[in-house]
Amino acid sequence: MKALFLLILLISSLFALPDEFDREKYNTGEKVFDNKCSECHEKSMDIQLLMKNFIEEDNKLLNLKAPTGNEISFRLKSQIGSREDIEFQLHEATDFVKDYLYNPDRSKTICLEGVIRHFKTMPSMKGKVTVEEIEDVTFFLYFLEGFNDVNEYYHKEDDF
Ligand code: HEC
């Protein structure tokens, strides 16, 4: 009985969300995304479909205007800092997004060349989005992809 209890505890801890996750901040960030980013960025799309669209079909299959939220989410965590320290990585990711949104410059891109080459540089969001909104939307983007139980788009990042 005790062993079973320990086993359940172990399994549930494997799927537990990190301490850094905050549902309220995530929801606030999602609203910022819906209001200020979704006119160009789709929130989440199937990765196989995206790869087919960008690599094989020259973006003619989906005609996307920008990389999707889940692609950005994955790239933020794989290109900036280390996932070993979520708090610090979130910090660095937020700094990157702040800088990019106010001073977009393709030479700073974290996206895949095969994806980014389909787009013009993002217009600056200076005056259109506040620092606080960027902090919330980055929080949302960070947790959008690869964290189980956060949203319906859960996808194992190892399968990217
Ligand atoms: C008018 C269209 C438009 C809007 C609105 C927009 N974006 Fe973008 N965004 C783009 C395009 C196009 C790209 C790809 C080109 C680039 O990276 O500069 C991009 C790229 C990005 C990138 C990746 C930068 C890189 O290349 O590594 C991030 C992060 C990003 N957007 C975040 C946001 C957020 C957050 C918002 C809302 C606050 C937003 N964008 C609003 C068009 C837009």
Q: Which amino acid is at 88?
A: F
45 CA from centroid of ligand 1 (Å): 16
pLDDT tens-digit readout, 85-120:
999 999 999 999 999 999 999 999 999 999 999 999
- What are the structure tokens assigned to 6, written together? 């320990």
pLDDT tens-digit readout, 36-77:
999 999 999 999 999 999 999 999 999 999 999 999 999 999
Task: Give Cα separations from 67 to 44, 50, 120 (angstroms).
Answer: 10, 9, 11
Q: Indicate the DSSP class of residue 82.
A: -
Specify burial of residue 97 (Cβ count, 10 A radius: 0-12, 13-18, 19+): buried
Cβ of 72 closer than 6 Å to ligand 1, yes or no, is yes
- The residue extents of the domains of the chain are 21-146
> Can you give the pTM of this predicted structure?
0.93
Mutate to test the pocket of ligand 1, among 28, 41, 73, 98 (most ligand atoms within 8 A of CB): 41
99: CB partners within 8 A, 6+ apart: 108
